Amino acid sequence: MGLEKLKTVLKNPLSGNSLELKTPIIGASGTYGYNSEFEDFIDLNCLGAIATKGITIEKRFGNSGERLFEVENGLINRIGLENIGIKRFIEEKLPVLREKKIDFLLNIAGSTEKDYEILASIASDNNIKALEVNVSCPNVKQGCLEFGLNPESLFRLIKLVRKNYQGFLIVKLSPNTTDIKPLATAVEKAGADCISAINTVRGLGVKIDYLGNKFIKKCTSGGLSGPCVKPVALYMASEIKRVAKIPLIAIGGISTLRDLFEFIYVGADAFQIGTANFINPGICSMLVNQLNDFMEKNNFSNLEELKKAIKE
């Protein structure tokens, strides 16, 4: 079955920069590995793209101790951006992506402005067509949120990245703010082509059992994701679209066709699927097929028609 109806073009109306996706479904960063890890479960060519694990300049070992904590309808993670570093990514992972013709977004993170500048230049030198700038991870001590929650710092950072990278530039925003609109405005003015949102919500998981006449306690703080954050993600998406003209890739608790429709209603142009991959590794392919079947059955010729009908 062809997927021509699902073709998606993310176009920045301010600059004309665009990114063409086969479908609007993207495997989210941190849940999809570096390149072809999920090909045992699905045909990766049915996806619009995968977003790589967050890549830093040097290799990172991440946080010690327990990194994942299950909560009701969600997951708290404190991985801490464990990754192999940009040098090994370029040498080992990028050739596989290109050999297998896997469309991807390179997700980058840094501790300083210089880190992001260097990573952007490396991406440009290696003709990487789409970059997702992570300024919103809550699980590292330096960088990311230090830039991502201050509109002035964020504007300066994205302006620097834009100067060193000419491809399609996506900025991943944090929900851990009282007002996301100034952040969206800042990245748009700085030259970003697209916003992805939301990253994880700060959360605390507590488990208490009573065993052997004593309380056994477990406590983990980190980034909360999964179905429980969907109302937050929908709100943040709607707020972003109040002020930003550039496209929006929605993230946050997406696992069903109905979820896709809800995010389209508030302005999403594409979707990243994250935590749901841990429950069903085939979820991205399933959503592609369900969306395509729905459009075939109900005579929608393309996604723009579907979006228009949902928003009417």
Residues tagged active-site:
137
Q: How many CB atoms lie within 10 A of CB 228?
A: 18
Strand positions, DSSP E, the chain = 8-11, 18-21, 25-27, 49-51, 68-71, 74-77, 104-108, 130-134, 168-172, 194-197, 201-211, 214-225, 248-251, 270-273
Selection from 23, 77, 20 nearest residue 271 by Cα:
23
Residue reference for tokens 């109040």: 242
Cα Rg of the chain, angstroms = 19
SS3 content of the chain, % helix, strand, coil (to 5): 40, 25, 40
